[in-house]
Amino acid sequence: MNTRQITISSGILEGEEKDQVLIFRGIPYAKPPVGKLRWKAPQPAEPWQGVYDATQFKAMAPQPDMTRDPFYGREFYTDPAYPLPRQSEDCLYLNVWAPAETPEGGCPVAFWIHGGSFDHGFGSEMEFDGEAYARQGVILVTINYRVGVLGFLALPELRDAQTGSVGNYGMLDQLLALQWVHDNIRAFGGNPDNVTVFGQSAGAISGQCILSSPLARGLYHKAILQSAAGYRNDVTHARSLEEAYEAGKAILEQCGAKSVEELYEVPAQKFVDILPDFYHQHPGMRFRPCVDGWYLTETPDEALADGSFARVPVIVGSTSEDIGVPKGRDAQSYKLYEGCYQMAMIRHDPTYVYYFCRHLPGDDAGAFHSSELWYEFGTLKRCWRPFTSEDSLLSRELIGYWTHFFWYGCPSEWGWPACNRDQKVPYIRYIQ
């Protein structure tokens, strides 16, 4: 393996140099959130002595075994060529792909937030890769953050005495990682004044929260929100404190703990093991951001309505067989799609709306939730599906749109106008 060393604020990193692309894996951006740091805002990583080995991905957050999922297990989690990392509470690491040669002015930075219903997922999943973007002069950063009980438990006793924050630990992880990018990305050749937050599913909800949070302003300049963002779509709404506390109390009882102090002694795996019974008794997406008065002072819908939502260019969209769409029905008549359109209509800033409707080969799942990930990261060859040359062309097209947006804030020089309320027919880009 050829390696390259760089120096960041915490010390010297050694990563891989591969075909004019630099890959730094498993960089700590926070202290391990263990012991008394469990259910606390993340603390910046400690500096280290010597050279830090950044050639291997690190642990993912404790989470359910997705290899058992009958559909997504095969799709993303069971290929022996891409073994899953171990699970650990010590999980706050990020990964960077960068061009070996930096263009004048620095590279735009794409900050990827993984999905997974806020109870699973990690930044080094097999479908994610930054080589295609690095070859276009873009730096890709992918992150791990706390999920499930460890990322979103809310109880009054856990509320921070100084800030009042509670229940948004996973979101604060994302925020600290974004701050890390702002402080360190120049060392990789990146431009901290050209950062795009993008994510899919829970990652898109996260991105929409970042654009609504007063704490994140100045750390990003654009956003791409895939398959979960929008206005009044019944998916992106943040929890109220009352809802968050209700779920927290149920978790406390599920664990058999009599107090928050006892929860600190519960092994992390226990918080994963209780989830099937917890979801059975409390269906729905029970882990999600909450309006705590600190990270979020209002819901993303409220931020869009009152104009406090970030004034930055946004791409937003969904897929034709996305979540909540019954098989054989037109997704354009359902809330997720409609919410993307309504988001464009309520904003006064450039908003580009897409509709991904390429039916993937190999089964009848169509353009299912998460189907675009293979295309946008250029990782079709990692998938079991019998992709064709048409799929490869579509992948290059989608990477081209995203790359142009990362660089310039619009997905194309021509052919994709913003979706604007002033147009007689607001434009929506079909990707198929």
The pLDDT assigned to 327 comes to: 80
The pLDDT assigned to 330 comes to: 77
What is the greatest pairwise CA distance in the chain?
A: 61
CA distance 174 to 194: 18
Residue 391 has which token pair?
Answer: 């799929």
Given a contact cutoff of 8 angstroms between Cβ atoms, the answer to whether 47 and 223 are in contact is no
- Please list the alpha-helical segments (H only) found in 50-126: 72
Q: What is the pLDDT of residues 376-430, one digit of tens each?
A: 999 999 999 999 999 999 999 999 999 999 999 999 988 899 997 776 567 888 9
Phi, psi angles (nearest 5°) of residue 101: -115, 130
Given a contact cutoff of 8 angstroms between Cβ atoms, the answer to whether 197 and 111 are in contact is yes
Looking at domain 3-431, which CATH architecture does it have?
3-Layer(aba) Sandwich (3.40)
Q: What is the pLDDT of residues 258-304, one digit of tens each?
A: 999 999 999 999 999 999 999 999 888 889 999 999 999 999 999 99
DSSP secondary-structure letter at 331? G
CA distance 337 to 422: 20
CA distance 30 to 43: 5
**Nearest of 256, 82, 94 to residue 180 by alpha carbon:** 94
The pLDDT assigned to 425 comes to: 62
Statement: the pTM of the whole predicted model exceeds 0.95: yes
Identity of residue 212? S
Q: At what angle do helices 202-210 and 169-184 cross, to 10 degrees?
A: 70
The half-sphere exposure of 423 on its side-chain side, counting CA atoms within 13 A, is 14
The CA radius of gyration of the chain, in Å to the nearest whole number, is: 21
pLDDT tens-digit profile, the chain (432 residues): 999 999 999 999 999 999 999 999 999 999 999 999 999 999 999 999 999 999 999 999 999 999 999 999 999 999 999 999 999 999 999 999 999 998 888 999 999 999 999 999 999 999 999 999 999 999 999 999 999 999 999 999 999 999 999 999 999 999 999 999 999 999 999 999 999 999 999 999 999 999 999 999 999 999 999 999 999 998 777 899 999 999 999 999 999 999 999 999 999 999 999 999 999 998 888 899 999 999 999 999 999 999 999 999 999 999 999 988 888 787 787 889 999 999 999 999 999 999 999 999 999 999 999 999 999 999 999 999 999 999 999 999 999 999 999 999 999 988 899 997 776 567 888 999
The half-sphere exposure of 207 on its side-chain side, counting CA atoms within 13 A, is 32
The pLDDT assigned to 420 comes to: 79
What do you get for the CA distance between the two ends of the chain, in Å?
Answer: 38
Q: How many other CB atoms are there within 10 angstroms of residue 220's CB atom? A: 23
